[in-house]
Amino acid sequence: MEEDKGTVCVTGGTGFIASWLIMWLLEHGYSVRTTVRPDPEKKRDLSFLTNLPGASEKLQFFTADLSDPDSFEAALEGCNGVLLVAMPIDYEGKETEEAVTQRAINGTLGILKACSKSKTVKRVVYTSSIGAVMFNGKKIDAMDESFWSDVDYIRKTYTFVGFGTYMISKTSTERAALQFAEENGLDLVTVLPSLVVGPFICPTVPGSVSTILAMVLGNKEQYPLLLNSHMVHVDDVARAHIFLLEYPEAEGRGLEALLRPKNHFLDCLDKIKEVAVEAHLQEVSV
């Protein structure tokens, strides 16, 4: 483990990407403060984080919720950098698009306001999504970070429960975050990963990992999400976040840092068949 590099706050620490980031930060010599949602009955098992190497000395937990942005202030105190990963997700469609999006924007801007007031925070890295770039109806071969998704197009085109809401929320929140940073002189960069796959330490199977295994597990309702999917390994996502923390010359949106060459799902099918056989699951037929 490397020497101490300072203190970083990771919001939403129990999630797939956030928990992996915590592990990487500890391994790379950072002290970490992470936020978790309130758990009044204290039933949540955080051992997958507390048992990480170095966690007993360098990992602290704080209770916070995006619906109460002020609740993040204690976690941000004394931090050099902030990885803003927490995001409300409603894949079951229990909330309206407006409710989910507004909570995400209000929570994110509240955290950014606290960061701008801080005397120690030097950089904020916001985890956005490729979904904030590519859903605009434009028929072109390549898009860069100058492109934005069109929320009206998403509403009309993507009716899959929860999917459109998530992409609209990501697009709207990133726009609001970048505008706030520009207006208030806050050093903010954003990263836009595609479908994140790979190992995980969180206790439940991440949604993106479940999606990529849909044909193995027989989750037919997720098949449409696999067509023309782009994928990125969670290790690369972690490397990109840490790179952006450590190199102040990087600025703006970090789409190019995370997108691999296009991985069409059908190209991966042979490997998935192997996994299915090895796991004694029913072999996928095409």
In tens, the pLDDT along 272-284 reads 556 555 554 444 4
Which of the residue ranges 117-126, 227-236, 254-263 would you say has the lowest mean pLDDT?
A: 254-263
Residue pLDDT, tens place only, 139-161: 887 787 889 999 999 998 877 66
So what's the pLDDT on residue 240? Answer: 93
Domain architecture of the chain: domains with CATH: 7-199+230-264 (3.40.50.720)
For residue 266, what pLDDT band results from cuts at 50, 70 and 90? low
The whole-number average pLDDT for the span 13-22 is 96
Provide the pLDDT confidence category of residue 258 given band limits of 50, 70 and 90: very low
pTM for the model: 0.85
**Which two tokens mark 150?**
């069109």
The per-residue pLDDT for range 183-212, each reduced to its tens digit, is: 999 999 999 998 898 999 999 888 888 888
Q: Which structure tokens are listed for 235?
A: 């290790």
CA distances 135 to 8, 116, 125, 256, Å, are 32, 31, 23, 17
What confidence tens digit (pLDDT) does each residue in 55-83 have?
999 999 999 998 898 999 999 999 999 99
H helical segments located in the chain: 16-27, 47-50, 55-58, 73-76, 97-117, 151-157, 163-184, 207-212, 214-217, 223-226, 234-246, 269-278
Among residues of the chain, what percentage have pLDDT more than 70?
84
Q: Decide if pLDDT at 229 tops 80.
A: no
